[in-house]
Structure 1
Amino acid sequence: MPSIYTNDNEHALGNIPAFLFANKIFIPENLSIAKVLKKGARKSKIIQYPGVKEGVYLWPKGKIIQDRRRENFCDKKIYVRAEPTTAEYYSGKLNFLDDFLIMIKKKYSVTVLVRDKAQFIHYSQARFLGIDVPEKPLSFEDIAVGCELFIGAGGSMTREMAIMGIPTISVYQEALLDVDKFLITEKLLAHEPELTFSIFETFIESTSRREINATLIEKGKVAYELFKNHLLKQSRQ
């Protein structure tokens, strides 16, 4: 049976068997082909798509969200995505943002987006009083429209916010992916693993009047069509 494999994480252990058995391998244009070949992929199998993975599924929402942000930019919040404690790829520090969060909550409206019950219990402690900690997931649209600045300790959601044109800081504690380095080069993402209040405030000031960059949303639509057409072609074989 024909199979397609796609991943933007060059460090994922699952790449090795998948590269061997997939008929086609889709990778983002900014992921080094050399790294993929090193994990056992054949060059003839590789198809590079424009932009980043997150654009493939976010492009239908992208323009709507960006327009809503332009129309209503008041009462914005700081959203913080906690670290992926249970992920196979993560072995970084835990709860490393605690002191920073206690500091910024004195001046800003802060929402911490937790990943599990343990994180919810942790950020519900009295010392975090004043920080909003939703027990249930919020909608992506509500977060994206109402976000002044996003701080992400993980991967995908950080990139999702960055390609929407939302000022975004990654505090990821592990090695960055090629796709993250690309977003940094494009000035859509900053990486500050040792984030301080001073760096945070300087970043807010420098991005407060920044024009929204829709390039990766537009590339996402092109990538979506590439995936769709290839899948339709495979289904007819």
Structure 2
Amino acid sequence: MKNEEIRDIIAKNDDDKMSFYLSTLLSKCKDIEKENNFIALLMIILILLFYSTNFAQLESLQIGPLSVKDVNSVKVFIPLVFSFLIFRYILINNHKGEIERIIKNFTKEFFNYEDMKIDINTQIDDFTRTILPISNYAEISHLTTKGISKFGCFGSILILPLTLIVLIPFFLEYIWIKDYLNDFPKFNFFQKASIILSIWINIVSIYYIIHRAIISYKENV
């Protein structure tokens, strides 16, 4: 949806409808932020679980009522779960980006506020940021957009590693799947299916990112 279309919808509806809509969007943003944190926690647990089996030489694993006797046979399924978490993370954050763009247009039209120093398509102004739920990454990335700093581009350089962190899940998936492909003939049917599904989900995730980026570019040109 283009910015012009969003503003046209806002103009055609009364304040009560738009206030209800804004409340709904903000509620969804909060839910997405909670899920983001939950997904990040699950990813960390899976990474630790995957490598702990190597260093600790675990023969069995007890997780609450669940007992796993052959850890290595289950370990092959971790990339599948991890790839699904990546895909889910991409989906909900793309949806969150759409919501934030609508809210930015809402604050511009409803409150008659516009920060001319930023690009509404890629950045969030201070007024809109105070309405949205707190996001750790959004707050940190704000260091690169908050006017002219006496430290110059130091803020951008400082948070560059955080930007690169988003590539780590894909890098781990590549390493894990590559190792399993070398031993592919040794696995049973379900383990082979898990590896193939992991590859497929990662390809879909990458395609989705590229596809949404192209659509976003066309909408904002």
Q: TM-score range by the shorter chain?
A: under 0.3
Please, what TM-score do these two structures have when normalized by structure 2?
0.26
More helix by share: 2
More strand by share: 1
Please, what TM-score do these two structures have when normalized by structure 1?
0.25
